[in-house]
């Protein structure tokens, strides 16, 4: 089979994950530097086609666990089929139904001592559900999520209120409102995609023995119109690193652990 046959074929999230796993292995066994790993990983997460991924991993040795994956084996890349959208639509409908059930019944309510880790997908889902119930919307100036608590700022007429959350909301202080402060909507966060980034964050920054320490969601002067970004911070035995995403899940930057 011609290896270039499906270079223009669109990749799936699973293919991007496989490419990142290959890059992690290449960094760990010395094929590429930590800096190259960060640059290639960010590009892999933005890849649209197999051709994009091929340009990033084509010069690397392939670990045994990925030999049969589509990302390195063109013979396993499937061309588009007209019946796939209908199947996907059914699967998505089933998945959405399951998620709605989880959101409605499978997380602790405010005050529950078993509040989930707020740096996990389930914890964030719980926080957002409680936030909407308490305030009636998902508008915030900035938010920091730690495993056991969250802190955030929110507008209140001409004031800015500072809150903490540990299953319940506590407005601990207030200050004069900055005229340039602009709230943004936490509802814009793509939770399923964020969950995938959280699951692979330690590997992505080169701290496989580490953990997510906190997540910051705030407007960034590095973005056009100071748009908000989600920054996932990781710390392990070798040090810390972080990755920056847009709320929609587009990668902005990866800063790996310094070695």
pLDDT band at 81 (very low <50, low <70, confident <90, very high): very low
**Given a cut of 70, is residue 89 above it in pLDDT?**
no
Q: Say what percent of the chain tops pLDDT 90.
A: 40
Which pLDDT belongs to residue 72? 64
**Given a cut of 90, is residue 141 above it in pLDDT?**
yes
Which pLDDT belongs to residue 73? 61
pTM: 0.60
**Given a cut of 90, is residue 103 above it in pLDDT?**
no
**How confident is the model over 172-193, as pLDDT tens digits?**
788 888 888 899 999 999 999 8
With contact defined as beta carbons under 8 Å apart, do 116 and 100 qualify? no
Q: Which long-range contacts (CB under 8 A, 24 or more apart) does 26-32 make?
A: 26/57, 26/60, 26/61, 27/206, 31/60, 31/61, 32/60
Which pLDDT belongs to residue 189? 95
d(CA 125, CA 138) in angstroms, rounded, equals: 12
Which pLDDT belongs to residue 70? 59
**Given a cut of 60, is residue 153 above it in pLDDT?**
yes
pLDDT band at 15 (very low <50, low <70, confident <90, very high): confident
**How confident is the model over 207-226, as pLDDT tens digits?**
889 999 999 999 988 787 78
Q: What is the CA radius of gyration of the chain?
A: 21
Q: Parse the chain into domains and list their residue ranges.
A: 13-58, 113-258
Across the range 55-69, mean pLDDT stands at 75
Which pLDDT belongs to residue 88? 34
Min mean pLDDT across 85-94, 123-132, 233-242 is at 85-94
Across the range 223-230, mean pLDDT stands at 87
**Given a cut of 80, is residue 3 above it in pLDDT?**
no
**How confident is the model over 93-102, as pLDDT tens digits?**
333 333 333 3
**Given a cut of 80, is residue 91 above it in pLDDT?**
no
Which pLDDT belongs to residue 84? 34
């Amino acid at each position: 089979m011609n290896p270039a046959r499906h270079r223009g074929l669109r990749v799936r999230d699973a293919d991007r994950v496989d490419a990142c796993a290959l890059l992690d292995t290449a960094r760990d066994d010395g094929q590429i530097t930590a800096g190259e790993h960060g640059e290639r990983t960010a590009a892999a997460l933005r890849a649209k086609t197999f051709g994009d991924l091929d340009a990033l991993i084509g010069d690397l040795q392939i670990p045994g666990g990925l030999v049969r994956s589509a990302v390195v084996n063109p013979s396993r890349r499937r061309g588009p089929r007209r019946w796939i959208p209908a199947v996907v639509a059914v699967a998505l409908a089933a998945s959405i139904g399951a998620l709605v059930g989880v959101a409605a019944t499978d997380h602790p309510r405010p005050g529950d001592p078993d509040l989930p880790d707020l740096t996990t997908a389930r914890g964030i889902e719980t926080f957002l559900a409680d936030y909407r119930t308490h305030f009636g919307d998902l508008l915030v100036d900035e938010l920091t999520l730690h495993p056991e608590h969250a802190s955030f700022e929110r507008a209140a007429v001409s004031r800015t209120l500072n809150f903490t959350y540990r299953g319940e909301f506590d407005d601990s202080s207030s200050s004069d409102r900055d005229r340039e402060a602009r709230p943004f909507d936490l509802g814009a966060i793509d939770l399923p995609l964020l969950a995938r980034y959280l699951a692979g964050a330690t590997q992505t920054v080169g701290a496989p023995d580490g953990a997510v320490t906190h997540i910051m969601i705030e407007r960034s002067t590095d973005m056009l119109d100071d748009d908000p970004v989600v920054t996932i911070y990781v710390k392990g035995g070798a040090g810390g690193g972080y990755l920056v995403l847009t709320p929609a899940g587009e990668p902005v930057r990866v800063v790996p652990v310094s070695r």
